[in-house]
Amino acid sequence: MTVKIGLLGLGTVGTGVYRLITSRGGHIKESTGFYPEIKGILIKNLNKPRKVNVQGLLTQNAEEILKDKEIKIVIEAIGGVHPAYEYVKEALSEGKHVITANKELIAKHGEDLNEIAEKNGVFLKCEASVGGAIPILHQIDRLKITDEIDFVGGIINGTTNYILTQMSTKGKSYEEALIEAQELGYAELNPDYDVKGFDSLYKLIILMRKVFNVNVPVNSITRSGIDGITKEDINYIAKWGYKIKLLAWGKKVKDNIFAGVEPVVVEESNILSKVSDVNNAIILKGDSFGEYVFVGRGAGELPTGDAVVADLLDVLLNYNIKGNNVAKFLPVSEGSFTDTFYIRFKMHKGDILNLQEILNFFKREGALILESSYENDIFVAVIRVKANINAFVKKIKDEKIAEIKAIYKVLQEDIDEGQLKEFEDLVEVI
């Protein structure tokens, strides 16, 4: 039996989807009993050169696909919110299954689209919206059957990971690494969507909705990107055996959800430090299985196309563990997954007295120094704090001890408490 498919968009993702479906159609039929046939492809420019032979399939009129009764599945690959939202909404309302790789669309409108899908008895699938070739949403569905997952996070943007890899391994500045990423096609001419953390934010919301069954408002999650990271910080971090990664993370503690998108310092022994270039890594932590780390290419024509086709197989097999579940609304609380931080000060006086003032403050607040460096008017340290980090930073600013130039969370392994005595001795000597 043949199933007709409508494809919206023929850019990088759309081309990958077309190639996989047309080349693997026979194998898909063997597995599912259905032969997938792309009947129409929506594009903007009929005269644009294409990497694939799509003669006779192209249209500039979305209604030719959305109103076609023969087309049972629509694959959305145009990106952005509008007109993608309107197209997906209409397709679902017309009783068509929809598969999308559009993380911004699902992050912002996933819940109302899920409701429309439920109402019309069709699937809304979005595996390709997170992690590229990593089948993470399918894995979460399976793990949730037997386990309570309380943490999801990782490196989920290939562009920023490539830039940070070049900065840490090749000694390039942020600007140099960004230009290279743009030349290679990893970063757009306007890179803000990636480097300021928006892409990671949308993917995190999708992951949290799947893992915790909560609908988190986009603007309730703290977001910071990599455009403020300096070679100076990269060098200090590398000297102490660390690397810096853009981490998206969500944590559930009882009925509270904590989350963030931000640069995080990780030890070189941590598996995340070894995830380089455009690769992604997604961590799940649960009460029974402990910790799983899924690593794979996070971007590209075929990796993302492969995730779309995985959703297509699910639809063709009528496979669905929990349906298009509507998540409950829950705002994000303020919190952290760690009590360890990298911090760089510009000292007001640039002398030993100002350094003693900083160290005395740390001792008073019960902060433990794990690494430190002092030269000229710069003091840099990796510290473990007992107090809430925001309150800690506020005190530094209120007491005008020194100017904080950079502060990042640290994924820290077990800490030797014997270091506390060494720190106290250091303060006394100074």
- Catalytic sites, residue numbers: 203
What's the rounded Cα separation, in Å, for the pair 146 and 61?
A: 46
> Is 13 marked as binding a ligand?
yes
Report the C-alpha dihedral over residues 260, 265, 271, 274, rounded to 10 degrees. 120
Q: Which residue is associated with the tokens 């934010």?
A: 201
| Longest distance between any two alpha carbons in the chain, whole Å | 81
What's the rounded Cα separation, in Å, for the pair 187 and 180?
A: 9
**Quick one: which of 20, 16, 19 has its CA closest to 28?**
20
Rounded to 5 degrees, what are φ and ψ at 389?
-65, -35
Helix, strand, coil shares of the chain as percentages rounded to 5?
40, 25, 30
> Is 12 marked as binding a ligand?
yes
Helix 136-146 to helix 198-212 angle (10° resolution) is 30
What's the rounded Cα separation, in Å, for the pair 97 and 322?
A: 16
What's the rounded Cα separation, in Å, for the pair 188 and 308?
A: 23
> Is 15 marked as binding a ligand?
yes
For 414, the token pair is: 């077990």
Rg of the chain over Cα atoms, rounded to whole angstroms, equals 24
> Is 188 marked as binding a ligand?
yes
- Size (the chain), residues: 430
Rounded to 5 degrees, what are φ and ψ at 4?
-85, 140
> Is 9 marked as binding a ligand?
yes
Q: Which residues contact 76 (CB under 8 A, 6 or more apart)?
A: 8, 9, 84, 87, 88, 91, 98, 99, 100, 101, 102, 105
> Is 10 marked as binding a ligand?
yes
Which segments are annotated as binding site?
8-15, 103, 188
Which segments are annotated as binding site for NADPH?
103
Which segments are annotated as binding site for L-homoserine?
188
Which segments are annotated as binding site for NADP(+)?
8-15
